Structure 1
Amino acid sequence: MENGGILDDLWAYRVGADQYLLVWNASNIEQKLDWLHRWAGSDPDIIIVNTSLDTVMVAVQGPSVHQLKNLESVSHLPHFGFTQTKIGDISVFVSRTGYTGEDGFEVIADAVKALPLWESFMAEGVKPCGLGARDSLRMEAGMMLCGLDMDTSTNPFEAGLGWLVDLGKGDFVGKSALLEIKRQGVKRKLVGFQIDGREIARSGYKVVKDGKEVGEVTSAGPSPTLGINIGFAYVPIELATLGTEIEIVI
């Protein structure tokens, strides 16, 4: 954003010499489209097409993903690689990406092919995974969720994403703001935490240190892999060190 904030995290696939496929979070689609149209302006060479309601994505994730016959033809893809192919008679766009911390693929097809595509994976023994399970996986992997852990009021440096920002390249939206933020330094930082006990924190819960409110939980939940409850929170930069003990008001 112009203020250095984060509109979303997305994949931008160059599918043609002058054509890109943008894959972002499903929430607040209109806000993101408005932003794109605003920056595209009246340039006749820029055409933006929203295919959100015309397409479907099935994310197939896990250590056994390469054993699936449906994905044999794309098992050679490098991480973050993509291609257009077919699963049976269904034309699909496949990328070796995911949001779980596991190896896997994300498969995009026409919406009218959603059911047969889904059934083809179920027939191979793939197990459905709901958003709750997905949320645990992405938190275990340290993956943030836009709208909770970062938003337009959050800058990449406090969110731990400064490594993705190249301030040395040419001009881009928000560059001036980010240069100033980096010059001044951030006052807070996103950290991961684990809870000593069975309680589960939730987004919006207050973080307390020495009796004083110092931050707020952004994401939290159970970690089946670790057998503990975990989460993310923004805290003052001086508290953003490994081993710091805080309290969360539950």
Structure 2
Amino acid sequence: MSNFWHDKHILVTGAAQGQGLTEAKALYSLGANIIAIDLAAPDQPVWNDLIHHCHAEPQRLMVRAQDVSDANAWSELADALKKQSIQLHGLVNNAGITLRKTVNQTSPEEWRRILSVNLDGAFLAIHYLSPSMRAGGSIVNISSTAGLTGYFSAAYTASKWALRGLTRCAAQELADRHIRVNTICPGLVETPMIHKANAVHNAEQAKIFHEGNRQATLLSRGAEPSEIANVVIFLLSPDSSFINAADIPVDGGMTGGGIYWRIGKMTGNL
């Protein structure tokens, strides 16, 4: 396995910070060539951590500013990769934004923006890049526990459920080329986004939100980003060669029994 990654190109969206940053750094450390996509311009400080991490062999890192919801940008990137004779082994559709608003609180413009990033971004990446991916490659879409159950955040939930459907469609289409497509559904992950307040939830409510998620998790904690990255690496590697069109919760037991665990605690049965 130590030699597996050295000639592999992996594209990670949302790679400048948070979970995507951790995934990109981990894959680089294994020896992969990383194409890192994020909205921020390459000269912005948000990229410093990844660039510093890759300083030993900077030629193995390509940083690109791109809105994942921009179809023209994906088309241009696909053309550029072809000109450089780069065939992707892996695609990690990690970029995502959240909005903790209900159906009636969410404006049509907010609805469209959330879906354009969380769902359209993954669709466009697969649409433009999968035709030139290596046979035997792997695509990993990052959904959420919100895509496995009911969650009050309307646009976010809809986007994450739909991403699971996209995974299944793409897996069927690409199977003959032995390109696998799977979904990871993280629960509470300790990144800045989980602590962020918005127009509906102030800083105190954000703390309550975090604590509620922690209490609904059997392991009573949030995941470290590296724990999600480990599953991404697994799904990109030959170790997962017979896993396809699957949803993999990486949530500390939240969807597997978190709700009834809390009830058991309250009733004294656990």
TM superposition score normalised by structure 2:
0.25
Q: Per residue, is there more strand in 1 or in 2?
A: 1
Q: Per residue, is there more helix in 1 or in 2?
A: 2
Q: Is the radius of gyration larger for structure 1 or structure 2?
A: 1
